[in-house]
Structure 1
Amino acid sequence: MNKTIIKLNKMSKILKLVCFLLVSVSIQAQDAAKAKSLLDEVSAKVKTYENIVIDFKYALNNPSENINQESKGNVTLKGNLYNLNFMGVTKIFDGKKVYTIVPEDEEISISKFDDKDENAVTPSKMLTFFNTGYKYSWDILQDIKGRKIQYIKLIPISSKDQRKEILLGIDVQTKNIYNLIEVGKNGTRTTLTVNSFKTNQPLSDNHFTFTESKYPNYYINRLD
């Protein structure tokens, strides 16, 4: 009799465990679906803009190396075209070539852009990078200066990825990205925060054009 009761108790525990696992899987699936749905809304919203002008703050923190750095920058996006200013360097992509202008060294590097290279990163991809290569989960909702910011946690699928996780903060009302937090496997934490997000701005015709005559004394390094 006692043996039967013990077996029943064990079976009951196993059934409870199975039920718990099934519920957990169901909740995780729902969370992933919610996260994917919100990310799809962000991607769709980005595609509706003729251009985007972003002022941002970049912070790097690595406690083990005692590194704390902060920098500001801005970027203008129009389709795949971009004009990026960050840490004293300007980078322009005109649709065919990438121009990297370094005033401190009076040097300019010019290289072709290979759109078939899956590892090639452009600022425009930073607004839609999450579409492939990640597992999604619904994270915390924060009130930041009166704005409701919903975080989505992204876990890289590739084991070779040096990032442990990424937290993407999305403004619930506007469906625009507020910030992006990357946590590396080595403990490094980088945060990109959008200070200003403007769309459909009047831009000059040559905003994404490199004009060599503006840099008469610069050394030009043509990489290809």
Structure 2
Amino acid sequence: MKKTTFKMYKLIRVIIVFFITFSLSAQNSQKAKQLLDDVSSKIKGYDNIVFDFKYSYTNPNSNLNQETKGNVCMKGDLYILNFMGITRIFDGKKIYNIVPEDEEITISSYDSEKKDDLTPSKMLTFFTSGYKYSWDILQNVKGRKIQYVKLKPTEGKDNVKEILIGIDIQTKHIYNLIEVDDDGGKTTFTINSFKTNQPLSKNHFTFTESKYPNYYINRLD
């Protein structure tokens, strides 16, 4: 479970960066700033976001090559993430990790001081400083013009060397995010489908224990 938990943590971090890096102050490119501002304005205007994604991690130095798919529903700080056979729910107060394979559920209270308790607001605070960004390459991806903006940390941040954010010029939506680590690892996060303002019930992000009658529930606090 430790490796899976780490991947879950890394994925959530990438997802949140996906949507919050756009409040960063411009440091070296007005064009990059304007494009990020346009994307930020669109993202903040949605009540909720639902998307399917492909996640891959490669590291030639350690001979790793992994790929999987998942989906996310986000509304403010609340989210439901399905990834690697695990469902993770954050209802604003508690985090629920549901593992059907083991019929086990781990429940913990959200702690803003803990590194692995991630929410959009916490990641917003984390990424609002310490980066410079610049205008990068323009690519044609199946008829879509994808403009990349490069973010480089001005100080060490979790082994991150640089982040590339691909933005669809026409829709001002994010196409993908590529995170390159100092050790040669590369995480690629690509949106396959993207929907907004979906009809969600008021209990959409509520964990219902009765749905899991045979599960072992591990309450950490």
Among 82, 87, 92, the residue aligned to 1:85: 82
TM-score (norm: length of structure 1): 0.80
- If you compute each CA radius of gyration, which structure gives the higher value, 1 or 2? 1
In 1, are the aligned partners of 2:80 and 2:87 still within 8 Å (CA)? yes
RMSD: 2.3
CA distance in 1, matches of 2:125, 2:191: 15
Assess if the C-alpha contact under 8 Å between 2:52 and 2:194 holds in 1: yes
Bigger shift: residues 148-157 or 118-127: 118-127
Q: Distance in 2 between matches of 1:118 and 1:139?
A: 31
Cα gap change, 1:49 to 1:90, in 2 (>3 Å): same
Shift, 1:65, TM fit: 1.6
Rounded Cα–Cα distance in structure 1 between residues aligned with 2:48 and 2:123: 14
Task: Please name the residue that 1:63 is paired with.
Answer: 60
Q: Report what 2:105 is aligned to.
A: 108
- What do the CA deviations read for 1:55-76 (whole angstroms, capped 9, x no partner)? 0000111112211111000000
Please, which moves more after superposition, 29-38 or 122-131? 122-131
The gaps in structure 2 that reach 5 residues or longer are: 1-25
Q: The residue matched to 2:61 in structure 1 has which SS?
A: helix
1:24-39 superposed matches below 5 A: 32-39=29-36
* Counterpart AA for 2:216: Y
Separation (CA, whole Å) in 2 of partners of 1:140 and 1:130: 23
Report if aligned partners of 2:112, 2:122 keep a CA contact under 8 Å in 1: no
2:207 corresponding residue in structure 1 = 210
Partner of 1:94: 91
* 1:201 is aligned to 2:215: no
Give the distance between the partners of 2:108 and 2:122, measured in 1 at CA: 19
Residue type of the alignment partner of 1:159: G
Match of 1:16 in 2: none
Question: 1:180 offset after TM fit, Å?
Answer: 0.4
Which segment is superposed worse, 112-121 or 51-60? 112-121
The one-letter code matched in structure 2 to 1:179 is N
Instruction: Tell me the number of residue pairs that the alignment of Structure 1 and Structure 2 aligns.
Output: 196
Q: Residues 89 and 75 (structure 1 numbering): CA distance in 2 closer, same or farther, change over 3 Å?
A: same
